[in-house]
Amino acid sequence: MQQRVVLAIDIGGTKLAVGVVDGEGRVLDYRRAPNPNPPTGDGESVLQSLFALIDELGVERSELLGIGVGCGGPMLWPSGEVSPLNIPTWRGFPLRARLTEAFDLPVHIHNDAICVAVAEHWRGAGMGVDNVLGMVVSTGVGGGLILGGRLVNGASGNAGHIGHAIVHEFEPLCRCGAIGCLEAIASGPNISAWAYAEGWREGFPREQRTGQDLVEDARRGDRIALAAMRRAGRALGIGIATATVLCDLEVVAIGGGLSQAGPLLFDPLEISLRERIGLDYASPVRVVPAGLGQESGLVGAAALVLHPERYWSAD
Amino acid sequence: MQQRVVLAIDIGGTKLAVGVVDGEGRVLDYRRAPNPNPPTGDGESVLQSLFALIDELGVERSELLGIGVGCGGPMLWPSGEVSPLNIPTWRGFPLRARLTEAFDLPVHIHNDAICVAVAEHWRGAGMGVDNVLGMVVSTGVGGGLILGGRLVNGASGNAGHIGHAIVHEFEPLCRCGAIGCLEAIASGPNISAWAYAEGWREGFPREQRTGQDLVEDARRGDRIALAAMRRAGRALGIGIATATVLCDLEVVAIGGGLSQAGPLLFDPLEISLRERIGLDYASPVRVVPAGLGQESGLVGAAALVLHPERYWSAD
């Protein structure tokens, strides 16, 4: 008898990815394409690109246990009406309903950062640990919480959103409207915007001063780039200290582009964290790079279907 | 047939309380006595006072489903070796084992602030709500987290300890050793110490400048006392904003002596909180005074035994 597998989908503003994931979390087959992501329209072109990519996989419906989806937030959860910040034509788009209708299979959907956290718990740096915060530090700062061995959803499926933990009392203003959010300091665009304002790569166009550029310059010893990384690391340490104490965490796994900076980010993070953890129970916490790579979004999306008792309490 | 009830115990540095609690959370009988709490010794005198108080209740062992205990932290959980900050002769004291030995009944034990949070979820301001932070703002700032309708314990039974959320980047130093903890600003002793340093009740002895005194003076319009309450409320708003966003909370219920201050505390808290919540999913959160009074510690301790599926995942 043929092995049952999951169709896993990962949807971001710049790319679409689909894969076939087995019960061990192995990605057996994989396709990736740019998201056409038009600025206006009814959103159908994005969906049609996704369907075309799934067709390329050539997986038989009869082999599938179900479909797991990670998508940029926000979304209404578990109903799966998505309004990804970076996909302007999807506003309240009924992604879960459309996939259910097209495939007549169970569809489990969650925020993409939550899928990464689930993957880290299931098969990555948080494997075998019951209390884990998985984080993505990239264009935004997101995350997911696993407590007592289960994914925490919270009231609206948004638990784990560490990017909007408050790390400073008076500034900066976050795009969410609040003051002092972690994301307003530590996301890639915000780190490089701060460095640019301080004189880094003065006069360069925006596409030549990304978070990745900043990390490279910091590696080369650029003074402002180094200060920007320290500032981001310090803010991450504060947010993680609060999450650790409040949720009694064992492991914090950090993925996303900025986590590639290694010690440039993790060293100041660790100093800041240890200054802000005084209680014995919290001090064993370990902050580590994510154990999985680019495929983690697909692996986590598959886990929503493969292990609903741990990762899918809805429906 | 006789109704089965729980023996509930609430242990603090200044008082011991015991009660008989029924399946509806009613306190059917109740005894309270000072904790002898000697500065030195082997801790037996505290335990003997507790046993004497239980004897006064005159409840039959055969009526009891079990024993629920709330005790000041820290403790090893679930083994129940307690080291309450304010009971110096109990250091690693095997409270759970001693009660089990004496009564030959199931004993469930947790931090006293967690019992208050459990009580608020079961019978108080968080009733019928699945995602609740219960807080105690008093000599310390503690709490307990209920997410998805269940008590979250975390790795060591210390989840919910909101008092050590970081609310300020550079100060003050907390007694836990960390920088910027909520408790270092918003606990009763810390609020009044700040006010005293600013000139409030200058030259008064310590026992005439408690948190309660400060609240009274703020009610009378004392300028420094009012500023101290605003400062505490603001810090609480920051800590609650982070907890709300991270855990996707619906209700935050605040008990403890300082919560009696009413709008003097809750108004600045609310202003600070709303400035720091930008995301739609978090804005419905309600911050309310605890719904239960002094008996909440006993009610929550009883719930550990009466509803283990929700409030006791250990053993």
Closest CA to A303 of A117, A41, A143: A117
**Residues A10 and A138 placed together within one structural domain of the fold:** no
SS3 for chain B is CCCCEEEEEEECCCEEEEEEECCCCCEEEEEEEECCCCCCCCCHHHHHHHHHHHHHHCCCHHHEEEEEEEECCCEECCCCEECCCCCCCCCCEEHHHHHHHHHCCCEEEEEHHHHHHHHHHHHCCCCCCCCEEEEEECCCEEEEEEECCEECCCCCCCCCCHHHCECCCCCCECCCCCECECHHHHCHHHHHHHHHHCCCCCCCCHHHCCHHHHHHHHHCCCHHHHHHHHHHHHHHHHHHHHHHHHHCCCEEEEECHHHHHCHHHHHHHHHHHHHCCCCHHHCCCEEEECCCCCCHHHHHHHHHHHCHHHHCCCC
Q: Considering the domain boundaries, does residue B120 fall inside one? A: no
Do A213 and A139 lie in a common domain? yes
Q: Inter-chain contact A281–B156, Cβ cutoff 8 Å?
A: yes
Closest partner CB to B160 (pick from A152, A164, A246): A246
What is the rounded distance in angstroms from the CA atom of residue A301 to the CA atom of residue B222? 57
Do residue A166 and residue B164 have CB atoms under 8 angstroms apart?
Answer: no
Q: Which residues contact A232 (CB under 8 A, 6 or more apart)?
A: A185, A186, A191, A258, A265, A268
Chain B residues closer than 8 Å to A174 by CB: 278
- Separation between Cα atoms, residue A165 and residue A293, nearest integer Å: 25
Distance in angstroms (rounded) separating the CA atoms of residues A218 and B19: 62
How many domains are contained in chain B?
Answer: 2
Q: Tell me how far apart the 2 most distant CA atoms of chain A are, in Å.
A: 63
Residues of B in contact with A131 (CB under 8 A): 154-155, 159
Burial (CB count <10 Å: 0-12, 13-18, 19+), residue B208: exposed
Distance CA B60, CA A97 (A): 58
Is the domain of B143 the same as that of B229? yes
Nearest to A166 among B148, B178, B241 (CB): B241
Model ipTM?
A: 0.96
pLDDT confidence tier of residue B31, bands split at 50, 70 and 90: very high
Q: Tell whether B230 and B82 lie within a shared domain.
A: no
- Residue A197's CB is within 10 A of a number of other CB atoms, namely 11
**Which residues form the domain of A48?**
5-112+295-311
Q: How far does the CA of residue B141 sit from the closest CA of chain A (Å)?
A: 12
Which positions in chain A touch B174 (Cβ < 8 Å)? 278
Selecting from A174, A278, A279 the residue whose C-beta is nearest the C-beta of B278 gives A174
The CA distance from B20 to the nearest CA of chain A, in Å, is 31
Residues in chain B closer than 8 A to A243 (CB atoms) = 246
In a domain, A65, yes or no: yes
* B1 pLDDT above the threshold of 60: no
Chain B residues touching A278 at Cβ < 8 A: 164, 174-178, 181
Which residues in chain B touch residue A249, judged by CB atoms under 8 angstroms apart? 154-155
CB distance A4 to A63 below 8 Å: yes
Residues on chain B touching A281 (C-beta within 8 angstroms): 74, 155-156, 158
Distance CA B130, CA B120 (A): 12
Task: Locate B26 and state its tokens.
Answer: 């009613």
Do residue A83 and residue A164 come from a single domain? no
pLDDT at residue A2 in the model: 60
Q: Which chain B residues are Cβ-neighbours of A169 within 8 angstroms?
A: 167-169, 238
Residue A121 located in a structural domain: no
Reduced to 3 states, what is the DSSP secondary structure of residue A259? helix
A302 and A282 share a domain?
no
Q: How many CB pairs under 8 A join A and B?
A: 168
Token output for B223? 């300028």
DSSP A254: E
Indicate which CATH number applies to the domain containing B87: 3.30.420.40
Q: Is the residue at A266 inside a domain?
A: yes
The pair of structure tokens assigned to B185 is 């600003």
Residue type, B17: A
Q: How far is A232 from chain B (nearest CA, A)?
A: 13
Domain contains A195:
yes
Which residues on chain A are in Cβ contact (under 8 Å) with B162? 246
- Longest pairwise C-alpha distance within chain B: 63
For residues A96 and A14, membership in a common domain is answered with yes
Option in A160, A238, A280 nearest B169 (CB):
A238
Both B143 and B209 in a single domain? yes
CB B238 to CB A169 under 8 A? Answer: yes
pLDDT in tens, B138-194: 999 999 999 999 999 999 999 999 999 999 999 999 999 999 999 999 999 999 999
Whether B246 sits inside 8 A of A242 (CB atoms) is yes
Tokens (6 digits) for A306: 């493969």
Q: Are residues B275 and B306 in the same domain?
A: no
Residue A132 CA neighbour count, 13 Å, CB half:
29
Q: Show Cβ contacts of residue B89 under 8 Å, excluding neighbours closer than 6 positions.
A: B37, B38, B39, B40, B41, B42, B43, B45, B46
Instruction: Flag if B158 and A249 touch (Cβ within 8 Å).
Output: no
- Which of A145, A147, A280 is nearest residue B74 as measured by Cβ atoms? A280
In a domain, B71, yes or no: yes
pLDDT tens digits, one per residue of A57-78: 999 999 999 999 999 999 999 9
CB contact under 8 A, A248 and B155: yes
The answer on B220 and B186 residing in a single domain is yes
Partners of residue A5 on adjacent β-strands: A64
CB contact under 8 Å between B174 and A278, yes or no, is yes
Task: Select from A161, A169, A247 the Cβ nearest to the Cβ of B169.
Answer: A169
A107 lies in a domain? Answer: yes
Name which of A153, A248, A313 is nearest B159 (Cβ-Cβ). A248
Over chain A (315 residues), the average pLDDT of each successive run of 10 is 86 95 97 96 96 95 96 95 95 98 97 98 98 96 97 97 96 95 97 98 96 96 98 98 98 96 97 97 97 95 97 87
What pLDDT was estimated at residue B315? 75
Distance separating alpha carbons of residues A160 and A192, to the nearest angstrom: 25
Task: Supply the DSSP symbol for A17.
Answer: E
Identify whether B255 is part of a domain: yes
Residue A207 tokens, joined: 């596409």
Answer for the pair A225, A195: CB distance below 8 angstroms, yes or no. Answer: yes
pTM above 0.90, yes or no: yes
Mean pLDDT of chain A: 96
Most B CBs within 10 Å: which of A151, A162, A248, as the mutation test of the B interface? Answer: A248
| DSSP reduced 3-state for A47 | helix
**Residue A211 near residue A186 (C-beta atoms within 8 A):** no
What DSSP character marks residue A55? H
Q: What is the pLDDT of residue B190?
A: 97
Residues B190 and B236 in one domain: yes
In degrees and rounded to multiples of 5, residue A78 shows phi and psi of -90, 5
Q: Are residues A188 and A246 in the same domain?
A: yes
| Phi, psi dihedrals of residue B19, rounded to the nearest 5° | -155, 165
Name B119's Cβ contacts closer than 8 Å, sequence gap at least 6: B25, B134, B292, B296, B297, B299, B300, B303
Q: Do B147 and A169 make contact, defined as CB atoms within 8 angstroms?
A: no
Residues 6 or more apart whose CB falls under 8 angstroms from that of A274 comprise A237, A283
Question: Kind and range of the H or E element at A271?
Answer: helix A263-275
Residue in B closest to A276 by C-alpha: B178
